[in-house]
């Protein structure tokens, strides 16, 4: 289809199951090649947290976990295995709310359910944790792509999370490299020469949301998505810029 | 570029400034034609709230507003014109928090800043309100596209909003037609045959976020975006399904 410039959001199916020690950047290179795709400067690769965690060994074997009394007490209400609850409690920097899910603030600062501990897309009796340093994970993939393909791209590590006030889950960026996650429009004018209202756009989250929406109806069955033509500012950045400090949170 | 199936997010620049009484569906038809684009079944048109509100006359002339004492008292702290604050107070079904922004629940149920009252992308001394019935607005555009172009599409009315716990604004769906806003994956299995964790995806919000991210660095300078290849379920739906009831809100 010809016509005006556009953003293309291209899932790359067919990745092998990822194991500890795998080089995710290398897997992305192979996935691109298998689909006959070459990278262009400014492309964004969105990579699901699940495969990054597995490659980095951020996986816990529940058979080795002895749940605490607190975890055992919480488990029935949460409808979860007490050993998984124990892992959540260990991972959570802070528990913000404990009803039928645990709303937590992770050590990274992200507010999300269950500290990002996930039993889907990993072997039985195992859970994935969020990567320890998701920006670092993104940078490592970015470096591999530059070395192997000679192209400067941005990389986003995505997670799929619920949110306050609205139903359903959405992809968000938990790690970035090669991009500013926020696009600051302060000082720009609207069509009528007036200040814009929505002056700072969370472009990394928007790109992650777009990518996760096509990762396949099988959840994270396609954990790598190429995004071409996205609007963002190149440069150094951290997904922590997307975290609103508790003091500045407007809603809670 | 050939290769695997993809989602394309195509902004349609060049729309005229929208006035009260304009037929937004007709404007979309003309925008598509001017870009040489024809619609395909399953396409999604994302239309910014600002032009829908203007076409529907959901615009308030601040020169006719006499601010209440409450509005006058709040205005300096909010850094806003007291008349605009007065409009926010009238529009808000409920004020959830009043710090340096007013966090409100609108009559539609949406939790957002300033009840969606917006002074950008409209003439001086005027503000736009959210459309009264954004699903109805979306359905009207959808009907026009079907009548004029003979194609069944989905339509999303988008707004650009801040969110709890995270910085930056993101496009969200405040009205939908021809689609289910949520994609329910309950019962489906992951790569390892286990239940998926993130079982309900907010696809209408993901598509809105993608569209708003390319609406132009000039904010809502390009208020119509064609999205092709999005993953969603066709059918009847309402953006109110994206609103989490107060009772079920997990985070607050």
What does the pLDDT look like over A5-44, one tens digit per residue?
A: 899 999 998 889 899 999 999 999 999 999 999 999 999 9
The answer on B175 and B202 residing in a single domain is: yes
**In A, which residues are within 8 Å of B119 by CB distance?**
194, 197
User: Would residue B2 count as lying in a domain?
Assistant: no
Asked if A188 and B219 come within 8 Å (Cβ–Cβ), the reply is yes
Number of domains in chain B: 2
Using alpha carbons, select from B94, B104, B224 the residue that is nearest to residue B171: B224
Asked if A210 and B35 come within 8 Å (Cβ–Cβ), the reply is no
Among all residues of chain A, which has the CA nearest to that of B249? A165
The answer on B87 and B192 residing in a single domain is: no
Which residue is listed with tokens 């045959």? B193
**ipTM of predicted assembly, 2 dp:** 0.94
Asked if A37 and B243 come within 8 Å (Cβ–Cβ), the reply is no
The answer on B169 and B45 residing in a single domain is: yes
How many angstroms away from the CA of A52 is the closest CA of chain B? 15
User: Would residue A88 count as lying in a domain?
Assistant: yes
Mean of the pLDDT values across residues B57-79? Answer: 96
How many angstroms away from the CA of B219 is the closest CA of chain A? 7
Q: Using DSSP bridges, classify how beta strands B170-177 and B154-161 pair: parallel, antiparallel or unpaired.
A: antiparallel
- Please report, for the domain that includes residue A30, its CATH number: 3.30.1330.100
Contacts of B200 (CB under 8 A, 6+ apart): A167, A168, A169, B182, B183, B184, B185, B186
pLDDT band at residue A194, thresholds of 50, 70 and 90?
A: confident
| pLDDT tens for each residue of B140-174 | 999 999 999 999 999 999 999 999 899 999 999 99
Mean of the pLDDT values across residues B131-137? Answer: 98
DSSP lists the bridge partners of residue B154 as: B44
Mean of the pLDDT values across residues B53-79? Answer: 96
User: Would residue B252 count as lying in a domain?
Assistant: no
Rounded CA gap, A136 and A157, in Å? Answer: 10
Domain that holds residue B64: 60-127
Q: How many CB atoms lie within 10 A of CB B231?
A: 16
How many angstroms away from the CA of A222 is the closest CA of chain B? 10
pLDDT band at residue B198, thresholds of 50, 70 and 90?
A: low
| pLDDT tens for each residue of A182-192 | 998 887 777 77
**In B, which residues are within 8 Å of A8 by CB distance?**
1, 6-9
Asked if B221 and A120 come within 8 Å (Cβ–Cβ), the reply is no
Q: At B240, is the secondary structure helix, strand, or coil?
A: helix
Residue B241, token pair as written in the block: 């399904």
pLDDT at residue A3, rounded to an integer: 61
pLDDT at residue B185, rounded to an integer: 83
The answer on B139 and B201 residing in a single domain is: yes
Among all residues of chain B, which has the CA nearest to that of A249? B165
Domain boundary among A127, A144, A162: A127
Residue A115, token pair as written in the block: 């500290």
pLDDT at residue A218, rounded to an integer: 43
Asked if A213 and B228 come within 8 Å (Cβ–Cβ), the reply is no
Rounded CA gap, A45 and A177, in Å? Answer: 10
Rounded CA gap, B140 and B62, in Å? Answer: 28
Nearest by CB to A168, from B7, B171, B200: name it.
B200
Phi, psi of A149 (to 5 degrees): -120, -5
Residues A8/B1, Cβ–Cβ less than 8 Å: yes
The answer on B213 and B140 residing in a single domain is: yes
Mean of the pLDDT values across residues A232-249? Answer: 89
pLDDT at residue B129, rounded to an integer: 97
Q: Residue A124: pLDDT above 70?
A: yes
pLDDT at residue B120, rounded to an integer: 85
User: Would residue B109 count as lying in a domain?
Assistant: yes
The answer on B75 and B185 residing in a single domain is: no
Residues A162/A225, Cβ–Cβ less than 8 Å: no
Residues A214/A11, Cβ–Cβ less than 8 Å: yes
The answer on B41 and B98 residing in a single domain is: no
Residues B205/B161, Cβ–Cβ less than 8 Å: no
Rounded CA gap, A181 and A233, in Å? Answer: 8
DSSP lists the bridge partners of residue B243 as: A166
Q: At B221, is the secondary structure helix, strand, or coil?
A: coil
The per-residue b/e assignment along B51-72, b for 16 or more CB within 10 angstroms, e otherwise, is bbbbbbebbbebeebebeeebe
User: Would residue B249 count as lying in a domain?
Assistant: no
Among all residues of chain B, which has the CA nearest to that of A36? B3
- Please report, for the domain that includes residue B98, its CATH number: 3.90.1660.10
The answer on B97 and B84 residing in a single domain is: yes
Q: Quote the strand ranges of chain B, DSSP E.
A: 7-11, 44-48, 59-61, 92-98, 102-106, 111-113, 126-128, 154-161, 170-177, 179-180, 183-184, 200-201, 224-228, 233-234
pLDDT at residue B1, rounded to an integer: 47
User: Would residue A50 count as lying in a domain?
Assistant: yes
Which residue is listed with tokens 């039928």? A100
Asked if A251 and B188 come within 8 Å (Cβ–Cβ), the reply is no
End-to-end Cα, chain B, rounded Å: 45
How many angstroms away from the CA of B150 is the closest CA of chain A? 20
Rg (CA), chain B: 19
Q: How many CB atoms lie within 10 A of CB A52?
A: 27
pLDDT at residue A190, rounded to an integer: 76
User: Would residue A160 count as lying in a domain?
Assistant: yes
pLDDT at residue B188, rounded to an integer: 77
Asked if A123 and B96 come within 8 Å (Cβ–Cβ), the reply is no
Rounded CA gap, B124 and A226, in Å? Answer: 41
Q: How many CB atoms lie within 10 A of CB A77?
A: 13
Domain boundary among A109, A127, A145: A127
The answer on B32 and B147 residing in a single domain is: yes
pLDDT at residue B159, rounded to an integer: 95
Rounded CA gap, B209 and A90, in Å? Answer: 33
Indicate the pTM of the whole model: 0.95
Q: List C-alpha distances in Å: A143 to A130, A135, A152, B42.
A: 21, 12, 9, 38
Q: Residue A221: pLDDT above 90?
A: no
Q: Quote the strand ranges of chain A, DSSP E.
A: 7-11, 44-48, 59-61, 92-98, 102-106, 111-113, 126-128, 154-161, 170-177, 179-180, 183-184, 200-201, 224-228, 233-234
Residues A24/A51, Cβ–Cβ less than 8 Å: yes
**In A, which residues are within 8 Å of B11 by CB distance?**
4-6
Residue B242, token pair as written in the block: 């994206």
Q: List C-alpha distances in Å: A189 to A185, A192, B123.
A: 9, 7, 12
User: Would residue B19 count as lying in a domain?
Assistant: yes
| pLDDT tens for each residue of A54-113 | 999 999 999 999 999 999 999 999 999 999 999 999 999 999 988 888 999 999 999 999
pLDDT band at residue A219, thresholds of 50, 70 and 90?
A: very low
Q: Residue B59: pLDDT above 70?
A: yes
Show the CA angle centred on residue A97, arms to residues A99 and B161, nearest 5°: 110
Higher pLDDT, B95 or A198: B95
The answer on A202 and A152 residing in a single domain is: yes
The answer on A220 and A172 residing in a single domain is: yes
Round the average pLDDT of chain A to a whole number and report it: 91
Domain boundary among A74, A106, A127: A127
Contacts of A99 (CB under 8 A, 6+ apart): A77, B250
pLDDT band at residue B216, thresholds of 50, 70 and 90?
A: confident
Asked if B165 and A251 come within 8 Å (Cβ–Cβ), the reply is yes
Round the average pLDDT of chain B to a whole number and report it: 91
Residue B228, token pair as written in the block: 């092709």
Show the CA angle centred on residue A248, arms to residues A247 and A249, nearest 5°: 100
Q: List C-alpha distances in Å: B17 to A27, A190, A244, B23.
A: 47, 12, 35, 12
Higher pLDDT, A41 or B192: A41
Phi, psi of A94 (to 5 degrees): -160, 140
The answer on A148 and A54 residing in a single domain is: yes
């Amino acid at each position: 289809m010809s016509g005006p410039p556009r953003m293309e959001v291209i899932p790359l199916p067919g990745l092998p199951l990822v194991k500890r020690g795998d080089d995710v950047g290398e897997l992305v290179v192979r996935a691109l090649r298998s689909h006959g795709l070459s990278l262009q400067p400014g492309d964004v690769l969105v990579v699901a947290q699940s495969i990054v965690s597995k490659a980095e060994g951020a996986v816990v074997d529940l058979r080795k976990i002895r749940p605490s009394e607190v975890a055992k007490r919480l488990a029935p209400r949460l409808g979860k295995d007490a050993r998984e609850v124990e892992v959540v409690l260990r991972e959570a920097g802070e528990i913000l709310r404990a009803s039928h899910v645990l709303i937590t603030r992770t050590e990274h600062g992200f507010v999300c359910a269950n500290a990002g501990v996930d039993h889907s897309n990993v072997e039985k009796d195992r859970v994935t944790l969020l990567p320890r340093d998701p920006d670092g994970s993104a940078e490592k993939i970015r470096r591999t792509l530059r070395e192997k393909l000679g192209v400067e791209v941005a990389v986003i590590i995505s997670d799929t999370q619920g949110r306050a006030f609205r139903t359903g889950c959405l992809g968000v960026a938990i790690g970035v490299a090669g991009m500013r996650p926020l696009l600051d429009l302060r000082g720009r004018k609207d069509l009528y020469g007036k200040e814009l209202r929505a002056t700072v756009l969370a472009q990394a989250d928007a790109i992650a949301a777009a990518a996760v929406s096509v990762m396949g109806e099988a959840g994270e069955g396609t954990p790598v998505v190429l995004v071409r033509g996205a609007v963002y500012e190149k440069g150094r950045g951290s997904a922590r810029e997307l975290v609103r400090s508790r003091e500045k949170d407007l809603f809670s």
